[in-house]
Amino acid sequence: MRIKKSVANFLRWQRVCRVATASDRSVPHAVPVCHVFANDKLYFGSEGGAKKVKNLRANPHVTVTVDTYSDDWSLLKGVMVQGTAKLIDGGPRFKKLLRLLYEKYPQYPEEAALGKGDVMVEVTPKHVFSWGFK
């Protein structure tokens, strides 16, 4: 799915998003994560045993919201991506995505380094909703 340039730039430059998953019993779970956006897909890293990863293994459907808030509501802006997740748990692709994440967030390697047993999550958009864009 092609994403509009203005929306793609917003996704690329924002620093945090919220990821919502659901377990195999439809129990919702939402958490903030640091992400990168490349090639019309959104990526984030996670510990392999995290609840969101367990949920995605059982149910690959995911919603990601990236937004900004202002008390001046005419400045509100955001994007909601609904799609499917693929877990990447090693190899050259994992390393390439990890490098992108570490470039965007220089503190990541020191504060929350990913390694053996961890994953990069690839979100492929199926539906994209946005607000506040001209």
Domain range for 31 is: 5-131
Mean pLDDT of 86-106: 95
CATH number at residue 91: 2.30.110.10
Rounded CA-CA distance 20/92 in Å is 27
Cβ atoms of 82 and 127 closer than 8 Å: yes
Provide the b/e sequence for 52-61 (b: ≥16 CB within 10 Å). Answer: bbebbeebbe
Cβ atoms of 80 and 11 closer than 8 Å: no
Give 7-42 pLDDT, tens digit per residue: 999 999 999 999 999 999 999 999 999 999 999 999
Rounded CA-CA distance 44/95 in Å is 13
Mean pLDDT of 62-74: 96
Rounded CA-CA distance 111/57 in Å is 26
Rounded CA-CA distance 119/56 in Å is 11
Q: How many structural domains are present in the chain? A: 1
Tell me the pairing of strands 28-33 and 77-88. unpaired
Cβ atoms within 10 A of the Cβ of 82, count? 16
Q: Is 0.85 surpassed by the pTM of this model?
A: yes
